Each structure stands twice: as C-alpha cells, then as structure tokens.
Amino acid sequence: MTNGASAILIIVYLAIVVLEIAAFWRVFAKAGQPGWAAIIPIYNSIVMLKIAGRPAWWFLLFFVPVVNFVVAVIVLIDLARAFGKGAGFAIGLLFLSIIFFPILGFGSAQYLGPAAPPVGSDGPRIQPAI
C-alpha cells in the first residue's frame, strides 16, 4: 500500500472516530449526563447503564463471557426504549452502531427517562415503544 493510500485511510478512520465520540457525547448530553463522560473508559459504560436504567454493578457482567453479549443486548434495547425507539433500533445499535448512534445523538430523539424498571417495581418507568 502506498503512503498516500495509508494517509487517506488514517484520515477516514480518524473522521469516523471523531463522529462516534461526538455522537456518544450528544447521547449522554440528551440524557442529562455530562458529555465528557463519553470519552472516559469504564466510566462511559457505567453512565450508559445509568441512562438505560440498569444498576452500575452490571458493569461487572461485561467481564463474564457470553453473559456480556446478553447484557449488551439488554442495555442497548433499554437505551433505545429510553429514547422512544423500538427493538429494531436497538438491533441497529448493536450491529450498525457507526450509523445508529449518530442518528440517536444528532437526530430528533428525546430522552424519556430510564427504560428499565426500578429495583423492586412491577414495570418500566416509561411506556414501551410500539
């Protein structure tokens, strides 16, 4: 590969990274969390759990093989619901996050509150998206 092609790939990669950071920043800000939390490793996962309405100790489940995938899917579904989106949007967040997080951050979606039910309650805090 030539130096020119390598430089172009690096520029494209950096542009995508900046777009994703900005999208996460906007998602956090829409949810009433500090935007800078999006760039702090580990803390950003804990804040994402808070936005989705899940307890912070769930962060430990991300270190358990197989369970981590299930937990990630649950959190993304709750995140989508917290912004008034459905399970289809959550699948988009899972498989095409490079597209769906900017849609969530820069689009018209409004944060409705945590989608997961509070501990000890019978149902979700917000109405599920249909």
Extents of the domains making up the chain: 3-106
Picking from 107, 108, 105, 112, the residue whose alpha carbon sits closest to that of residue 129 is 112
Across residues 8-20, what is the average pLDDT? 95
Phi-psi region of 65 (alpha: psi -120 to 50; beta: other; left: phi over 0): beta
Selection from 86, 70, 75, 80 nearest residue 129 by Cα: 86
Q: What is the pLDDT averaged over residues 62-91?
A: 94
Task: Report pLDDT for 95.
Answer: 95
Hey, what are 82's tokens? 């917290």
Whether residue 118 has pLDDT greater than 80: no
| Helices assigned H by DSSP within the chain | 3-30, 43-52, 67-82, 87-95, 97-106
